[in-house]
Amino acid sequence: MTHESDFLRINTEFMGPLNIRLNKFGLGWPPPQFIVIEGETGTVREATAKDKREEIFERVSMSKITDEQIANMEHVARGADYKYVVRDGAQSE
């Protein structure tokens, strides 16, 4: 179940970290392992097999708070961190 405060943190080389709420793009919790940011629209979506490897961000960590726990935590947000995947499959630094 996705909560209003659930978010993605995408670490970008040029703009720094971007925090994006999951519900803005219809993504649920837990968030996808791989995501893509559509260049023209800025839409964030789950990556598919058709996406080019150089366009993909991979989830490297995420909160371990359950749906039941967060329901009772008024001032807590769950998040997931993503890093850009380089063409050869290695993660960027």
Domain that holds residue 53: 7-84
Distance in angstroms between the alpha carbons of the first and the last residue of the chain: 32
pTM: 0.82
Q: Is residue 89 part of a domain?
A: no
Q: Is residue 93 part of a domain?
A: no
Give CA separation, 15 vs 10, 11, 32, 36, in Å.
10, 8, 22, 16
Q: Is residue 1 part of a domain?
A: no
Q: Is residue 31 part of a domain?
A: yes
As a whole number, the mean pLDDT across the chain is 86
Domains in the chain: how many in total?
Answer: 1
Q: Is residue 67 part of a domain?
A: yes
Q: Is residue 13 part of a domain?
A: yes
The string of pLDDT tens digits covering residues 2-19 is: 899 999 999 887 888 999
Query: What is the C-alpha to C-alpha distance for residues 73 and 27, in angstroms, rounded to an integer?
Result: 21
pLDDT by residue for the chain (93 residues), tens only, comes to 889 999 999 988 788 899 999 999 999 999 999 999 887 788 899 998 888 776 789 999 999 999 999 999 989 999 999 998 864 444 444
Q: Is residue 68 part of a domain?
A: yes
Strand ranges of the sheet holding 7-12, from the earlier edge strand across to the other edge? 16-21, 7-12, 79-84, 56-62, 34-37, 44-46
